[in-house]
Amino acid sequence: MVNIKHGRGYVYAIEYHIVWCVKYRHKILVEELDVRLKEILLKIASDYAFTISEMESDKDHIHLLVECTPQHAIPSMIKVLKGISARLLFKEFPHLKKKLGDGHLWNPSYFIATVSEHTEEQIRKYIQDQKVK
């Protein structure tokens, strides 16, 4: 159910489906690294005052359902999510830099789509089913 929120002088319900991939599609989002990535992303969202309401990965990419305010700029959210997570994961899992060759964790591109009350449940299920395939 889409959460309608109130700001000072405005009402909004903003949700995005965001997907990005590991550089060269390396299948590294498994086991403890996958768990740690999700913890890091939830902390970043909390620190930057937006909500990840659904999240799942499938070895070489991650899907997020993000709720935010009109003040959140999409490129800024993506930059903090990818930048901080990469820095912390490289620090905690130093072998990643060698495995990825050039020292970049994430592919520079990403997918983003707006979510409406008509598509939210479909997208939630799609994200939840990422590892079920």
| Phi (first) and psi of residue 107, to 5 degrees | -60, 140
Q: How far apart are CA 42 and CA 83, in angstroms?
A: 14
Residue 8, pLDDT score: 87
Q: Are strands 10-12 and 61-68 parallel, antiparallel or unpaired?
A: unpaired
CA distance 95 to 4: 43
Give 100-117 pLDDT, tens digit per residue.
877 799 999 999 999 988
Q: Which of 123, 117, 84 is nearest to 4 (CA)?
A: 117
Closest CA to 87 of 104, 74, 100, 99: 104
Quote the tokens at residue 106: 């994430």
Which residues are the active-site residues?
A: 126
E strands, 30-123, where?
51-57, 61-68, 111-114
d(CA 88, CA 41): 10
Q: What is residue 87's predicted lDDT score, i.e. its pLDDT? A: 96
What pLDDT band is residue 41 in, cutting at 50, 70 and 90? very high
